[in-house]
Structure 1
Amino acid sequence: MQRNHTLPNLWLLSDARNDARLEQALRSLPEGSGFIYRHYHLAPEPRRARYAVLAQIAHECGHRVVLSGSAGEARLWGAHGLYGPARRIGPGEGRLRIATAHDARGIEAANAIEADAVTLSPVFPTRSHPDAPTLGPMRFRALAARARMPVIALGGMTAARALELDWQRWAAIDGLV
């Protein structure tokens, strides 16, 4: 399958924890970065209104905007793509599709739908789940090797951790704000 999507190396994910700093964070990212809008904590109308504000800033900065939602929402809201478990984002409909994975089953599901990319997490301990099990660098690399698409490292990621991992594609919730 021919893919014509530009896939940024650096991604910012939205969350209730980083909401107050998102405008500043989007403006400080390098041009052409990616922004994954989640904001699961908001009711539908406020969620869409917040998306509109943040997506406008992201577009002004030349970033790709991906929505955690349905294909219909992504189309209606003007997102460049979809983010979520492979079973929810499904096969392509012309938008960038980033699947989520935490183990080999998640990677295989992303392969099965021919996702454009997959986030693999958690690589390192995170602020939200500091005592949760992590993949660590060795398991992360072993799982990433099974993916037939680019892998975006997620979970406790910062610029320093990306260097430590020696991985060019990475995403953060707290590590970029």
Structure 2
Amino acid sequence: MALIQSFPALWLLSDARNDAALEAALARLPRGSGFIYRHYHLPPVERLARFNQLSRLAWARGHTVILADSAPTAREWGADGIYGAPRALVPRRDDLLRLATVHSLGEMAEARRMGADAVLLSPAFATRTHPGAPFLGPLRWRMLAARAGRIPVIALGGMNARKARRLDWPHWAAIDGLSSL
């Protein structure tokens, strides 16, 4: 897939802890933002039903909807793309947008080899998702981001509007930082 004309600056990720706030968060995001649906905590039938609810809201606001799953599942569910580790992107056989989650220089190189359309580089800062885990910080995050080449890099991990300004990066994603405004 050719990268969407105006690549979203903001990306909301779904999670069990922000599920109750997702409808309001999707409505607050600027038109044309991105939404990455994960909801790994739900059984398959419930996960699909929740995806259908949230994706309808997201598309009505002009958001790009990405599914954290396989390409066949994303095509079946009607998602705009897939999200996962670089190795999960599999060689391109369709027009799905492919977003890779990366945490190291090796994963960044793998994402480029696998044809990722964008990467979510994390963790930029300390995060509730992995309490106490090491994080990159602004300097190391920017050094790794510089190795992405022409692939857009989305900051993830402890992100909110204040930290996005501190990082001084145009694309960022959050779970809590965009759902609890």
Please, what TM-score do these two structures have when normalized by structure 1? 0.96
Match of 2:134 in 1: 133
Paired with 1:167 and 1:151, the residues of 2 have a C-alpha distance of 9
Aligned alpha-carbon RMSD (Å): 1.1
Q: Are 1:121 and 2:149 counterparts?
A: no
Match of 1:71 in 2: 71
Q: Is the 8 A contact 1:91 1:115 kept in 2?
A: no
Over the matched positions of the two proteins, sequence identity in percent amounts to 57
Q: Secondary structure at the match of 1:65?
A: strand
Q: Please, which runs of 5 or more residues in structure 2 have no aligned partner?
A: none
CA drift of 1:128 comes to 2.6
CA drift of 1:5 comes to 2.1
- For 1:35-114, list aligned pairs within 5 A: 35-92=35-92, 93-114=94-115
Please, what TM-score do these two structures have when normalized by structure 2? 0.94
Match of 2:177 in 1: 175
CA drift of 1:78 comes to 0.7
Paired with 1:36 and 1:91, the residues of 2 have a C-alpha distance of 21
Q: Please, which runs of 5 or more residues in structure 1 have no aligned partner?
A: none
Q: Is the 8 A contact 1:120 1:152 kept in 2?
A: yes
Deviations, residues 111-133 of structure 1 (Å, cap 9, x unaligned): 11121000000000012323110
Paired with 2:125 and 2:53, the residues of 1 have a C-alpha distance of 31
Deviations, residues 53-96 of structure 1 (Å, cap 9, x unaligned): 00000011110000001111111111000000111112222111
Paired with 1:4 and 1:137, the residues of 2 have a C-alpha distance of 26
The aligned length equals: 176
Q: Secondary structure at the match of 1:145?
A: helix
Q: Secondary structure at the match of 1:131?
A: coil
Paired with 1:48 and 1:109, the residues of 2 have a C-alpha distance of 29
Q: Secondary structure at the match of 2:53?
A: helix
CA drift of 1:3 comes to 2.5
Paired with 2:105 and 2:162, the residues of 1 have a C-alpha distance of 26
Q: Is the 8 A contact 2:3 2:117 kept in 1?
A: no
One-letter code aligned to 1:158: N
Paired with 2:33 and 2:166, the residues of 1 have a C-alpha distance of 21
